[in-house]
Structure 1
Amino acid sequence: MGRGGDHDDWTGTNGEPNVQGARHHGADRRERDALRAAQLYYVQDLTMEAIARDLGVSRSTVSRLLSLAKRTGLVKIELDPPRGRATSLVRDLEDRYGVRAQVVPTDGSLSEAEVLERVAAHAAHVVQPLISSGMTVGLAWGSTLSALSKHLVHKPTHDTVFVQLNGAANPLTTGISYASDILFRFGTAFTARVEQFPVPAFFDRAETRAAMWQERSVIRVLDTHRKIRLAVFGLGSIDSAVPSQIYRGGYVSTQEARALREQGVVGDVATVFYRSDGSDDDIAMNDRSTGPRLADLRRIPQRLAVVAGRGKLAALRGALEGRLMTDLVVDEGTAWRLLR
């Protein structure tokens, strides 16, 4: 039972506990504490121990409150280094490949999975200012986008649409939950509408794909694709230490992977494969893929690739040679290997 003016929040008219009111009250309290913790930490430079004493909570609670403040958008962190002080890696990437690049600091002691998490967290901050109201944004599902989507912070928009770039079903699974989880996190973070693409990742026959592309339900999604102003994707690679979802999820058989290697394939974007020079012609599986043709991808004004781990080096080089991206977030080790 509440005290004084809080009574109505905690009990109903029949005297029974008001669970919804209690939860709402608790959420408000957590948000107020998160805001106060953020002010003390980021503005007044107090230590977490000092903040814990101020709020009468533990240090671990302060850490959770600060994470809540970032996750809900109470705190926004922006990195805007002066161009004259850009690292040599960034300058070399931009000069050689004509992309806008951000290099995420890493060291040799991190595992590939740890590098992926660090790059994903950085990329979540990079993508936030790129998305605004009224935009249509294309998303390719995969290990990198899944990790990135878990680090998004709240930024309300209106009339924004996130659309799935390629189908997700395969002979083992519908793939719906995996792809929709990524879309849902983006949609929730930006209060946006999401559009799934309810087709397989690969059709069994190219003729089936051609026939499906005449269906009205598919045409509607393809029309949405033509409105995309920003595409966000990772790069698939057979050789990555953190296997790409396309290879570990049953989308490509052992025989198909062997054939792709024989054709000189080094990577894929949204299940469309390419070689070391960025070309995608005469690759048989692309005729069955539901992802956008690379020529169509290049027509999207802004294309952000997020790449983590030295296993993605060949895929990254091929994508850069093929001008598949306008913007790049990459870990320091992979950038160094690419250029040196």
Structure 2
Amino acid sequence: MSNGVLIVGEVVDGALHPTVRQLVNAADRVADASEVTLCLAVGGSFDDGCLEGVSVGEVILLEHPDAISDEGGGVYSLLTELACDAMERVWPSVVLVAKTDAGSVISARIAARFDAGLASDCIDLALNSEGRVAVTRPVHGGSAMAVYEFSGDGLQVVSVRPGAFEPAPASADMPEVERVDVSGIGVEAGVPVLVETVLEEGEGIPLEQADVVVSGGRGLGGPEPFDNLRELCGLLNAALGASRAACDAGWIDHSHQVGLTGKSISPTTYITVGISGASQHMAGCSSARNIVAIDKDREANIFSHARYGVVGDWAKVLPAFTAAVAELD
């Protein structure tokens, strides 16, 4: 690919954000590793040892003392300026950013700054016959997916939904690392500043990071059965998920929702209980390696995706399954 790909990654508490390796995997769909540059805004004490195995051609560490501050420094504005500095060093054809809180702001501002097209919340990407990027993203409130292509020959900015791609396999080599002092870069007066960050009190393991996820759907019939799922999650060290229908019914918070309008997950094992397997839900778990489904409707779509399936009343199946797991613990 001409000019290659620039990944605008994030650093949290001195370590790579989980989405960085996901973006590396996404970049592999449209370019060779040697054509991919990763830029990270870091404080001066960043240990580049965590970059070992990251399969990119080059890493640019943009060192700025305020890059790790989130109090009163207009951090999103600063990160945008640092990303634009990296843009002018690389002049890529494609920019990949994770659709996190920061990434959503940065990708939009990069697109505006460079008069480029922006495809947001993408769950897949590829090259078309002309070598331009084609992206897949949810439309109509998540009821369908559409493929969009970038027209013309200008810059292409893509924000990728966290969890849509599995982390890229580690390479055997350490990428080339360049440290650049950008402490002279600031933000203009009057730009919005981040006043406070309020962390959501999550329940258990984050869905996007879990190796095992247990989800419940409308077939559970109410909020109380989610306590049964929580018990199983405790035994399996799993994250608790849910379908959109269960969340919309108020049985569980929307932060647990898996699907096009929820979170995308890529666990090794995904256990569903009372979930029919609507396309919107399946799009959020398409990267799961093994799906284990429990549902009373033998015609449920979930069984066409499951490696293992049990047709039956969850109220009878789940307690026996949980007891069997407990005996193995």
Between structures 1 and 2, the one with greater helix share: 1
Higher strand share: 2
TM-score, normalised to structure 2, is 0.28
Structure possessing the higher radius of gyration over alpha carbons: 1
